[in-house]
Structure 1
């Protein structure tokens, strides 16, 4: 299965963009795991971590202050007010 096309965006900048095997984050409904082939989704994120498993490397973790995640046709966009991405 083809990897996900992922964008992690802060209010003021693009933090990371690339291919990933999976993305996970905490939403208002609970923990969310996204893999290739995931159904379309739009959800509100709570303060916490977004974990990205890049297709070509080691897991990356960013701390976010709320936001939302959108999934459609293996494209995942995470938008947050602030992103602390020291692992990137």
Structure 2
């Protein structure tokens, strides 16, 4: 005999999962704003900049922004991996110049 599916329970579980994903997305946007330093901007300025970015249609500008964003994430990832390797959160690697042996 087949087991009867509880559609209400499955629907509730899916709704809860969607709610958690939306909360995670909002949290990650907030973390992104902090990581980029945009939290220091006036909220009106930040909103205006985001609206302008959404309205942008020039593919060249969007490509430049995407490349700059990808570079930001690569640099952030490298900094995080250095901290995990034991350089410490307070230690800063030199950004430019020759490295000492």
Asked if TM exceeds 0.5, the reply is no
Larger helix proportion, structure 1 or 2?
2
Which structure shows the higher strand fraction?
1
| TM-score between the two structures when normalised by the length of structure 2 | 0.17
Name which one, 1 or 2, has greater alpha-carbon Rg: 2
